Chains A and B, each alone.
Chain A
Amino acid sequence: MKTILSFIFFSFGLAIGLFIENLPFLTFKKEVGVGEIANFLIALTIAILIPLLLHTWIDNKRFIKDYLIEEIKACLVTLTKIKEIVDDCYSNDSTSDKDKGRIVYLFSEVDRQINTFCEEMKHNFKKESKDIINIIKEANITYWKETTGGPLMNQQFKINYNFYNKHNSSFYKNEVVIKKCISKINSL
């Protein structure tokens, strides 16, 4: 087996040697120095490596941005669940303690999603993250205050037209902020 392998390697080397020697378009002039050859090889390596590395870097950045956008979209899904509960309560003219508890619980769920998003954002875009994080946190805190800061948790309270209306406007304001942040992340 060893002999066969040695023979194959020897033949392969011989073939390459013959090929280079008889190569019609590549002739080495004797006056070409080692420095020039090294220069040529370095230029060739850079020409191959830079686009390759750049491409990988851009791909990675895109992947991170897509991931962050998915994270923030997940918050929007949870926020939409809050809106759906408010919508149902209003249209059924009935607001149970369970509905109120679920709204409050979903707010803490959104908090956890925002916390994860902020951590990822800080980790991947340290410089740019500050503005986006502040805007998202502030909008979410405002939405939380406007939704659960009024009469919602009062035992006798049923979601009425006034609450429904104010909630909708608050929800859409928050939604716009999050969507703007998605487009900001996209342009990073």
Chain B
Amino acid sequence: MDNNIKIVIAKDFSDTPGARYKTDGPFSGEQFLEEILLPKFKEAIKKDCFVEIYLDDVWGYPSSFISGSFGKLAKDYTSEEVLTHIKLISESDPLLVEKITSVIIKPDLI
């Protein structure tokens, strides 16, 4: 899987991710999913490559944001498919990667 697609959340979206839905406020999980994550994810499936998601340099991730973006994606495409085409990267917080993975694996738990 060469030529991976990159998303740097702090740069490409926001360093203060917000709530779950667009109606809840700015920089929501839903907005991130629709404007950035989903198009890149579809492209990754098409090209059979990874979307490398860089999570660092953000103030923090509310669980509602993660659930509204990654969780929703896993519900729509299955956890296996999401984990096959998404690579979460954080040098400063490996536990964050585990947190997001746990939401992808069990998206219905929130």
Do A and B make up one complex?
A: yes
User: Is B63 a contact of A111 with CB atoms below 8 Å?
Assistant: no
Cα of A101 to Cα of B60 in the assembled complex, Å: 8
Range, interface on chain A = 20 to 34
Q: How far is the CB of B39 from chain A (nearest CB, A)?
A: 24
CB < 8 Å neighbour of B59 from A108, A118, A147: A108
Range, interface on chain B = 20 to 34
* Known contacts A112-B93, A145-B109, A153-B18, A104 near B24 by CB under 8 Å: no
**Please, what's the 1-or-0 string for A80-112, where 1 marks a CB less than 8 Å from any CB in chain B?**
000000000000000000000100111110011
Cα of A48 to Cα of B98 in the assembled complex, Å: 49
* Known contacts A101-B16, A155-B25, A111 near B62 by CB under 8 Å: no
Contacting residues, chain A, for B98 (C-beta < 8 A): 137, 141
Q: How far is the CB of A11 from chain B (nearest CB, A)?
A: 67
A150 at the interface (CB under 8 A from B): yes
Q: How many cross-chain pairs have Cβ atoms below 8 Å apart between A and B?
A: 74
Contacting residues, chain B, for A118 (C-beta < 8 A): 95
Contacting residues, chain A, for B59 (C-beta < 8 A): 101, 104-105, 108
CB < 8 Å neighbour of B63 from A137, A145, A154, A155: A145
Interfacial residues, chain B to chain A (CB-CB below 8 A)? 16, 18-20, 24-26, 58-65, 67, 92-96, 98-99, 102-103, 109-110
Contacting residues, chain A, for B26 (C-beta < 8 A): 155
* Known contacts A104-B60, A115-B95, A141 near B102 by CB under 8 Å: yes
A149 at the interface (CB under 8 A from B): yes
User: Is B93 a contact of A115 with CB atoms below 8 Å?
Assistant: yes
User: Is A114 a contact of B64 with CB atoms below 8 Å?
Assistant: no
User: Is A145 a contact of B110 with CB atoms below 8 Å?
Assistant: yes
User: Is B62 a contact of A148 with CB atoms below 8 Å?
Assistant: yes
